[in-house]
Amino acid sequence: MSDLFLELGRNPRARKLIQTLGLPLPMPQALRRAKEPWPERPLQDTDIVVGATAGAPLLTTLARTLVLAGANPFVAEPTNIDAFTGIGEAYGRPPQALDPKSSELKPRALVFDASGIRTPADLKALHGFFSPQIRRLARCGRVVVLGRPPEEGADAGAAACQAALEGFVRSVGREVGRKGATANVVYVQKGAEARLEPVLRWLLSERSAFVSGQPLTVTNEVADAPNTPTIRVLDGKVVLVTGAARGIGKATAKLLANEGAHVICLDRPNDGSLCSEVARSIGGSVLLVDISAEDAAQTIVEHIQAQHHGNLDVVVHNAGITRDKTLARMKPEKWDQVLDINLEAVLKVNQALLDAGVLGEHGRVICLSSIAGIAGNMGQTNYAASKAGIIGFVHQQAQALAARGITVNAIAPGFIETRLTAAIPVVIREAGRRLSNLGQGGLPQDIGEAITFLASPGSVGVTGQVLRVCGGGYIGA
């Protein structure tokens, strides 16, 4: 199902005509999305403006990240240039002092290290950097603010000011969304600075096109993996994707395979033909199982032990269903069916993989939650309960498995263009598309890109979190 207003927006003449006539029609900016596997330099030849408070502790890591990713750094404060000089010259990316009067620069991103902010007066630095720069931001650009977790604040004021960064980027995301740009904040735990680079590379790339207004926290909670590749990040890894026959599961399987993974495509026997087609197209394998069956978890374990020597590196719990009715009209069997597949099956399968030692050290567990699990939704008490349950599962398991080097995270999609949303009545569907910073629905690819990031070794600093891939949706937390 195509988005008429998005298609009109792709036509410069139509866009200009509608703007000239002053018609109250939404004209979302078509987003730039990645078309190839992860490159060594995702920011190649892009101009990025950098700002920071005095003595900002993350500046050195930021400089290394941008230069190695191929960016051209423009530094707003002359006193911060030294952090970029050594590595910039070594890699042929010497920093440039930002000319505040230049009208030609259209930066791909604005990045500000706010980790040194301690008082309300310090917050003025945000305005000082962004106010004159925000208009320069290119279409489909990125705004990223770096900070420290508020709970690490030395006092109440420091904690409050770091928490203020989240409200700031959520609001910036509303302001820049009309040009297809996004804004996010990354909190970096003290001692976890070395884990920031892969997170920044992903957030600043075209792979985060539908992630906006979100906080991510980088920690040292999980035991480190032996290496962090930047290309073919899943080479040699074995990945299980449930619900892989169509939609988000299908898109995810393809993206994971692009990064070198062998993907086990799992779906119910009734979708065997579709699932086999997906597996063949990516060089993966097929496992047909009804995950709500009593013996499903054991069947999955035995298959992996027999076919892959008991080796599984990533599990993506994507399979899910909806059976919508208001609570007064909902039959008990519809409640049970949704909770059995969306929640209980996840718990059983995951525990079986762990008990059998199939999912080993430095593994990745990624679950599909939903905005409905955060905000609730009319007629979806069963679905919302199951997806909120997933969030609780992720929080508990992240703590329990950190010592084994296993990360556990959830993704909460917003309005994503799938066969399910295509069936929504047109008025509700149009409203759902527009209720985000970006004024449009996301694609299954957007969810798959986030899953691929969380499946990669470089995501080791991210665990126990719920990443909303919703375009900065107005609904939910």
Give the phi and the psi of residue 138 in degrees, each rounded to 5.
-70, 160
* CA torsion, ordered 186, 191, 192, 197, to nearest 10 deg: 80
Q: What CA–CA distance (Å, rounded) separates 437 from 183?
A: 10
Q: What's the burial of 60, exposed, middle or buried (CB within 10 Å: 0-12/13-18/19+)?
A: middle
**How far, in Å, are 59, 74, 77, 128, 446 from residue 97 at the CA level?**
15, 6, 7, 16, 35
d(CA 71, CA 90): 14
Assess whether 383 carries a catalytic annotation: yes
**Rounded-to-5 percentages of helix, strand, coil across the chain:** 45, 15, 40
H or E, element range at 351: helix 345-355
With residue 7 as reference, give the H or E element that holds it: helix 4-10
Return the structure tokens found at 337. 């069916």
Distance of CA 158 to the CA centre of its chain: 27
A 10 A CB-CB count for 263 gives 27
Give every CB contact of residue 238 below 8 A, 6+ residues apart in sequence. 261, 262, 264, 304, 308, 311, 312, 313, 314
Q: Which amino acid is at 101?
A: K
Phi (first) and psi of residue 70, to 5 degrees: 95, 10
Q: Is 466 helix (H, G, I), strand (E, B) or coil?
A: strand
Within 45-192, where are the H helices? 59-68, 82-90, 124-133, 156-176
Nearest to 300 by CA among 277, 256, 267: 267
Other beta carbons within 10 Å of 163: 17
Instruction: Confirm if 28 and 7 have CB atoms less than 8 A apart.
Output: no
Q: Is 65 left (phi over 0), alpha (psi -120 to 50) or beta?
A: alpha
Q: How many other C-beta atoms are found inside a 10 Å radius of the C-beta of residue 41?
A: 16
- Residue 215's H or E segment, with its range, is strand 214-218
Residue type, 85: T
CA-to-CA distance for 144 and 28, rounded, in angstroms? 22
List active site positions.
Answer: 383
